Chain A
Amino acid sequence: MAPSEILVPGDKRLDIAKTKPTKKGLKQVRIHGRGGQGAVTASQLLAIAAFHDGKYCQAFPSFGVERRGAPVEAFVRISDEPIHVREHVYEPDYVIVLDPTLLSSVDVARGVKEDGIIIINSNKPASEFKLGTKAKIETIDMTSVAMEIIGKPFVNVASLGAFAAITNEVTLESIFKAIEQEFAHKKEMGELNKKAAEKLYKMFKGE
């Protein structure tokens, strides 16, 4: 994922009214997916979105050897202050699980803060997930929304809409900007992803 055109603050195309997220301090996010599912792309988009909200950000993959289908982790840090720390994310505030079948092999609750939130792509109620953590579990059916809008089970980008709604750490406007930027050469796909992200956002917000 390497756009040759990068929109920067000040660019008219980014001139959309934006509501500032309200949270302060360093927030850490871990995204669980499978190789090829786009967890790393999602982490990069989330970092770019945070930047458009005026935040500092850092996104990085779990530095594994890429294999399609293998469990993959990607990380994001978001902060109002410059981010210097370079260690892995050990105690995430938020976890996004793109593929619920990972739960049988990966401890997605590993290290998550007690007041953290685990967001799982699932059509089952959160109460069905026993993850041995005090962190809150939220489920949202990302796959159905992706199938309905995109026609394919691409949930990585769309999941950020759910993340924005559930955590208020990033605005939907900025996620849109990040999508437009990264899908500059695949505008149609970008628009479909925006729609899916928006639907998930509104689903959670009850709109």
Chain B
Amino acid sequence: MPEIVVEASRAIALGVKLCKPKVIPMYPITPQTHIVEALAEMINNGELEAEMIHVESEHSACSALLGAQAAGVRTFSATSSQGLALMYEILPIVSGNRMPSVMAIANRALSAPINIWNDHSDAVSARDQGWIQLWVESTQEAVDTVIQLYKICEDHSVLLPGMLCLDGFTLSHVYERAVVPEQEQVDEFLPEYKPYVKLDPEEPITMGPIAFPDSFMEFKKMQQEAMLNAVEKIKEVNEEYAEQFGRSYGNGLIELYQMEDAEHALLGMGTLVGTARVVVDELRKEGHKVGLIKLRSLRPFPKEDLIKATENLQGLAVIDRHISLGYEGPLFSDVRSALFESDLRIINFIAGLGGRDITQKHLRKALLSLKEGKEGGWLL
């Protein structure tokens, strides 16, 4: 498997290419654009046999994604920020129709004030729309995760769409080393797409009809069951991937770092986890028993794994790159809810909004504040 130095956006495009999607509806928006630009180039060069649909808005991009997937092919798109917001009307229609489309979200702050830089407000706000969300830390993880996502989403026990969430700029525009798998390996790992149902004039079916009050709840219950099935499927695919490609990410849902004897820990998603690894290493050298929990899967939410991972902890600081205005960090709400039966002290920090750098100093402060019994707050 060749290792290269590659921009994360391009690496994702290379990963997508290996999965052979047939339709890629796209609408450009910073900082996602490099992903679809690279795909457009691959299609133009004849390296990827797919149709790129240049639509007039993200609303149409998501609609075309749904339509193409319904017609029976693997699809891909990418967006950011207000682009994802404009897709909002269609997001639950894709998931409600159980279409396993995959999108990359180069996470960017939602306006206003207008801001092109990273935070998690776009995708976290969309967490209730029935899409699996896997959050990645590095270029390598981004490539591997896009391949994994197709396999997870398309599994007949799941049949849900998935978002690959990566930090805009902070990851999307970084050049670093990554191994891009070989086509034969991916072909072996990810079988050709066989739709569970599709629109076919020879065998007409109706998709997306009205569900009356006597059946709507059953549909939602089935979607919830599919999400819960995804918990196991994400783990399984993570293991299979490790066997075939030699790389895995924790148990697929969460990854633990220096947690064996940790008393206090940080929990977060995305690139801040990388910086946190360095901070944990430094604090360990100074004698602090600290650790790190990387949350990879926001939906489905790995409740049981979090309970287990935090059994021996005394304190946990949750870093949110988003705030549910009027309440608190939404990741914090989720984590605290999952752990409400434990005695663990959990505090919340809001950090890195609108591209504000999350520094080693910030994360060090968060961990030490936790240890000293202080409250959370804003890491400005």
A and B part of one assembly: yes
In the complex, number of A-B residue pairs with CB atoms less than 8 Å apart = 83
Q: Assess A87 versus B5: contact at CB under 8 Å? Given A47-B175, A60-B174.
A: no
Cα separation A83 to B259 with both chains bound (whole Å): 20
**B359 proximity list for chain A (CB < 8 A):** 87-88, 90
B176 x A2 contact (CB < 8 A): no
**2-57 of chain A: CB within 8 A of chain B:** 2, 4, 6, 8-10, 43-44, 47-48, 51, 56-57
Q: How far is the CA of A51 from the CA of B358 in the complex (A)?
A: 26
Q: Judging by beta carbons under 8 Å apart, are A4 and B47 in contact?
A: yes
A140–B145 Cα gap in the complex (Å)? 45
Inter-chain contact B278/A85, CB cutoff 8 Å = yes
Q: Is B129 an interface residue (CB 8 A)?
A: no
Q: Does A67 contact B (CB under 8 A)?
A: no
List the B side residues contacting A4 at CB < 8 Å: 41-42, 45, 47
The reply to whether the CB of B251 lies closer than 8 angstroms to some CB of chain A is no
How far is it, in angstroms, between the C-alpha of A43 and the C-alpha of B174 when the chains are bound?
10
Contact A58 B275 (CB under 8 A): no
Tell me if B5 and A63 are in contact (CB < 8 A): no
State whether B5 touches A48 (Cβ < 8 A): yes
Given contacts A51-B5, A57-B177, A85-B275, contact A63 B360 (CB under 8 A): no
A58 and B174 form a contact (CB under 8 A): yes
Per-residue CB proximity of A57-69 to B under 8 Å, as 1/0? 1111101010000
- Number of A residues near B (Cβ < 8 Å) is 26
Complex Cα gap A65–B6 (Å): 21
Known: A4-B45, A48-B5, A63-B355. Contact between A84 and B275, CB under 8 A? yes
Q: Are B173 and A60 in contact (CB under 8 A)?
A: yes
Instruction: Write the A98-137 contact mask toward B (1 if CB under 8 angstroms, else 0).
Output: 0000000000000000000000000000000000000000
Please measure, in the bound complex, the distance between the C-alpha atom of A91 and the C-alpha atom of B278, giving whole angstroms: 16
Q: How far is the CA of A61 from the CA of B355 in the complex (A)?
A: 13
Q: Are A87 and B357 also in contact (CB < 8 A) when A4-B45, A4-B47, A58-B174 are?
A: yes
Give the shortest distance, in Å, between B37 (CB) and chain A (any CB).
7
Would you call A47 and B5 a contact (CB within 8 A)? yes
Known contacts A48-B5, A86-B272; A65 and B116 CB within 8 A of each other: yes
Report the minimum CB–CB distance from B124 to chain A (whole Å): 19
Known: A84-B275, A85-B278, A86-B272. A61 touches B173 (CB 8 A): yes
A84-B275, A84-B278, A87-B357 given; A58·B175 CB < 8 A: yes
Binary interface profile of B, 179-205, with partner A (CB < 8 Å = 1, else 0)? 000000000000000000000000000
Closest to A10 in B: B2
Q: B11-67: which have CB < 8 Å to A? A: 34, 37-38, 41-42, 45, 47
Are A63 and B117 CB-contacts (below 8 A) given A47-B175, A48-B5, A58-B175? yes
Interface check B170, CB cutoff 8 A: yes
Kindly provide the distance from the CB of A132 to the nearest chain B CB, expressed in whole angstroms: 23
Binary contact readout B196-225 vs A (1 if CB under 8 angstroms, 0 otherwise): 000000000000000000000000000000
Q: Is B243 an interface residue (CB 8 A)?
A: no
Prevailing SS type, chain A contact patch: loop
Q: Taking A6-B6, A47-B5, A59-B174 as contacts, is the C-beta distance between A85 and B116 under 8 angstroms?
A: no
B18 to A: closest C-beta gap in Å? 15
For A90, list chain B residues within 8 Å (CB).
359
| Alpha-carbon distance A153/B174, docked complex (angstroms) | 27
- CB contacts (< 8 Å) of B37 on chain A: these are 2
Q: Mark B154-186, 1 if CB is under 8 A from A, else 0.
A: 000000000000010111011111000000000
CA distance A47 to B7 in the complex (A): 11
**Closest chain A residue to B363, Cβ basis:** A87
Task: Specify which chain B residues have a CB less than 8 angstroms from the CB of A58 in the assembled complex.
Answer: 174-176
| Contacting pair B275 A87 (CB below 8 A) | yes
> With the chains together, A90 CA to B38 CA distance in Å?
31
CA distance A51 to B175 in the complex (A): 11
Q: Is A86 within 8 A of B4, CB to CB?
A: no
Contact for A84 among B4, B117, B175, B274, CB less than 8 A: B274
- The reply to whether B3 and A8 contact each other, CB–CB distance below 8 Å, is yes
Query: What distance in Å separates the Cβ of A81 from its nearest Cβ neighbour in chain B?
Result: 11
- Asked if residues A2 and B173 are in contact (CB atoms below 8 Å), the reply is no
21 contacts between A and B (CB under 8 A): A2-B10, A2-B38, A10-B2, A44-B5, A44-B7, A51-B5, A57-B5, A57-B176, A58-B174, A58-B176, A63-B117, A84-B274, A85-B275, A85-B278, A85-B360, A86-B171, A86-B274, A86-B358, A87-B357, A88-B357, A88-B359
Binding site for A on B (CB under 8 A): 2-7, 10, 34, 37-38, 41-42, 45, 47, 116-117, 167, 169-171, 173-177, 271-272, 274-275, 277-278, 355, 357-360
Further pairs besides A4-B41, A57-B176, A83-B176: 5, Cβ < 8 Å: A2-B10, A59-B174, A61-B169, A65-B116, A86-B272
